[in-house]
Structure 1
Amino acid sequence: MAAAVLVLSVAGCTGDNDTTPAGEASTAAAPTGGSGVVDVVARLEPSVVTIQTSEGLGSGVVYRANGIIVTNQHVVGSAKQVKVAFADGTQANGQVTGSDEVTDLAVVRVQRTGLPAVTVRQDLPKPGETALAIGSPLGFENTVTEGIISGVGRQIPASTTGGRPLVDLIQTDAAISPGNSGGALIDDRGRLVGLNEAYIPPSAGAVSLGFAIPSSTVVDVADQLLSTGTVAHPYLGVSLVTLTGDIAQSLGMKVNTGALIRQVQSGSPAASAGLQPGDVIVTFNGTDVATVGDIYAALRKVDPGTAVTLGINRGGSQSQVKLTLGTLSR
């Protein structure tokens, strides 16, 4: 069974920035010029691995030459030890050194050096750019699919994922299937732009709807996991639900969209700011909030300890609430 979750099958700038992981020289992804996709794939394939657990398999990407691999948290699950298969046919035992459920990212370490680490592109790709997905769908190692970047800043609601909403994703029509999770989404110069995360299957009426975690998020989370073993997330301290017209009507509310606060955690930044169950968050630092996903996306763009301003609708009256976000480590 390939690592995936159905119904959504879990398998956000401008510029031209190239970076490699700190302290590591990349051996795998220099710009290609006019040499074409074939050459890009030939050089990138050794940087993509297959990860196997007792529950199934997925993919991973060599992040640092000294044995550091990044993948999805849902690929490794609760496992502490995994098998890592490389493009040259060799295998190694891997230790899961850290994982983060919020961003669905994990770090695996193998006792090998001189691995071909990817070059990471940290600026977002633009819609229409070439996208190549490399991974192990259904166990077919180093499978390559080609498409384009279909969109950026995408959100998939919690009602579809069955858990937390997925936010700030890259959308691509490069085919992504079970087992692609944790594999590489690269541009036509061989730079990692994202880690393949999920797809919406044809049974849901979708055609070529795949999603990846932006490489900037991958770098941020992986470096935190390698440094401290945990990831610090900004903490608001509320339980939220997306306010729909039906919910608003049933509760007799005078606002129809936003993030409805169901619970406020005692001692949290939200509690200290006086937020209450029944309040509706309608803006975050001046940006409109229509869904819970908008809140998660906004939180991903700020650091713990940041002062923010929330637009609140309480009983039909609008107000501005300022608070300082806390820190949640996972």
Structure 2
Amino acid sequence: MTDQFNNQNGYTPQSGQPYQQPNFQHSYQQPVVNPQQPHPAKPSTGRTFGTAFAGAALACVIAFGGFTVYQNVTETPSDSNVTLGASTNTEIQAQSTDDTLPEAVAQKCLPSVAAIDVYTQQTSTDMLGRSTSSSGTLTESSLGSGVVLSEDGYIVTNNHVVAGADALKVTVGGEEYDADVVGTDESSDIAVVKLQGASGLTPIEIGDSDNLTIGEWVMSIGSPFGLEQSVATGIVSATSRSQIMSNAESSGSDGYGYGYGNSSSQSSGYTIYPNMIQTDAAINPGNSGGALVDSNGKLIGINTLITSYSGNYSGVGFAIPVNYAVNIAQQIIEGKTPTHAQLGVSLSTVNSQNAKRYGLKVDSGAYIAAVSAGSGAADAGLEEGDIVTKFDGNAVDSASDLMLDVRSKNPGDTVTLEVNRNGETKQLQVTLGSDESSQAAPTTQNSSKNGSSSGSNELLNRLFNNGSSSQGNAA
């Protein structure tokens, strides 16, 4: 992917750009903690068996994360008793969708959306651009948005917003707080931060992303280009937009001044985005981690990606569904390792070319190269050489399709796989396992649910086979 296909909507300020944030504070001062006084606050300022999987090159967007999950990156304790989201359940009554509805929704939701400023230590480089030393001075390197989940300051955002941060300052409700990263799930691009000394915040009401209607009214809220408390309206353009994004496809600045957060700190793996919400409500650099809400002011998604040739708003943005995001956030807050569904197989993609070459009975699907002993796939009777063609009745055209289908489920869910075994069609019931014990190695593959794919079989092996490796060669 070339640089002009800008993606992640975190914003990195650079000199010489047309936009400058008012009263921009470049330096960070370590807070003085007084246990006898509340946290000081101040007003706001500011992804042939060697065939190519190439489809996502034009499409976009960000590519951060891998499959290593880390917890307790700070000394912030876990909290198993916190209730996420507002305890209220209100509906907004408006006479005109074009007039009073946006006003009412904005008034309700703005207090629950935060601006996140990311600070990193300054480093010196030599004439070859290699880092040589750190001065210890903290400067603002990027920014993004977040959504308040609890009165005492738990905030959900994107992992790519806070990755690599040495310090965070979060502005919410007109006050600025120091914050700590509680934990992240890189493979889902979800992170949770906790404000220091916060109380009495306004948590957002949480909606249901499983019951969205294409065409329904929505509002995006966040800090595009650092402009805090900005809103934009639109509709749900589509649902179930899935993508697998590789880190290696988009690291560093895009040449427009809108960088990729702290991408250098990301692992070289990739992130799985299942069933995203597509919207035409404006999502720009800086909106990452912000709220997508419905006409009742209820959170339905976390704004995350854009598809654009310029890197700015083009009418096609994506949000992680709130049901998925809050589930991951809850696990992080409780001090758990976020878990995802796992099939327990190694995969390769079947297409017309390799089907003809190797004499396969179907010309699309996900080829089972190996099955892990003791996995759900093994218990269900999946065998090496099977080709999965349907998942719960939906067509599976590639290995990436199956990967995304599995990720959309939870550990313990039972699914129906239709497989082709030596020309015979079989249906198998599989109870999905968990990837909790998996430690996937970095990868460089990129794939798309609706496109072709490219990369190594080893990547898929690690994803589906607890880190083991198999060549997955149909021959």
Is the shorter-chain TM-score for this pair beyond 0.5, marking a shared fold?
A: yes
**1:329 aligns to what SS in structure 2?**
coil
Specify the code of the residue in structure 1 equivalent to 2:186: E
Amino acid at match of 2:287: N
Shift of 1:178: 1.9
Equivalent runs, 1:306-317 vs 2, <5 Å: 306-317=413-424
Give the letter aligned to residue 359 of structure 2: G
Tell me how far 1:59 sits from its aligned partner.
1.0
Tell whether the 8 Å contact from 1:99 to 1:230 is kept in structure 2 after alignment: no
Contact 2:300 2:321 in 1 (8 A): yes
Decide which of 338, 341, 348 is 1:234's aligned counterpart.
341
1:303 aligns with 2:410: yes
Which residue of structure 2 aligns with residue 17 of structure 1?
none
Q: Which amino acid aligns with 1:65?
A: E
**Matched residues, percent identical?**
39
Q: Which runs of 5+ in 2 are unaligned?
A: 1-7, 12-46, 48-56, 64-81, 95-99, 121-140, 250-269, 438-475
SS state of the match for residue 225, structure 1? helix
Q: Give the RMSD, CA atoms, in angstroms.
A: 3.2
CA distance 1:241–1:251, shift in 2 (3 Å): same
Provide closer, same or farther for how the CA distance between residues 81 and 292 of structure 1 changes in structure 2, counting only shifts above 3 A: farther
For 1:160 and 1:130, the matched residues in 2 are separated by 33
Q: Structure 2: which amino acid aligns with 1:124?
A: N
1:52 paired with 2:122, answer no
Q: Which residue of 1 aligns with 2:170?
A: 84
Structure 1 or 2, whichever has the larger Rg, is: 2
Distance 1:253 1:106 in 2: 43
Partner of 2:155: 69
Amino acid paired to 1:3? G
Shift of 1:68: 0.7
Q: Which moved more, 1:291-300 or 1:68-77?
A: 291-300
Given that 1:97 and 1:229 are in contact with CA atoms closer than 8 Å, whether structure 2 keeps it comes out as no
Q: Give yes or no for contact 1:167–1:296 (8 Å, CA) kept in 2.
A: no
Q: Which amino acid aligns with 1:136?
A: S
Q: Aligned partner of 1:22: which letter?
A: T
Alignment length (residue pairs): 319
Bigger share in strand:
1
Q: Which amino acid aligns with 1:39?
A: A
- The 8 Å contact of residues 303 and 320 in structure 2, kept in 1 or not, is answered as yes
> Which 10-residue stretch deviates more, 271-280 or 117-126?
271-280
Per-residue CA deviation, residues 109-165 of structure 1 (Å, 9 max, x unaligned), is: 112011111111114321111111111122222222211111111223558995344
Trace 1:284-303 onto structure 2 (pairs within 5 A): 284-303=391-410
Structure 2 residue 174 is the aligned partner of structure 1 residue 93: no
Match of 2:61 in 1: 9
Give the equivalent residue in structure 2 for 1:140. Answer: 227
| Aligned-residue offset at 1:328 | 1.5
* Partner Cα distance (1:271, 1:164) in 2: 26
Aligned equivalent of 2:93: 33
1:259 maps to 366
Bigger shift: 105-114 or 37-46?
Answer: 37-46
In 2, the alpha carbon distance for the partners of 1:259 and 1:176 equals 34
Q: Structure 1 24/319 Cα, relative in aligned 2: closer, same or farther at 3 Å?
A: closer
Check 1:245–1:51 CA distance in 2 against 1; reply closer, same or farther (3 A cut). Answer: farther
Q: Which has the higher contact order (CA 8 A, sep 6+)?
A: 2
Alpha-carbon shift at residue 192 of structure 1 (Å)? 0.9
Gaps of 5+ in 1: 12-20
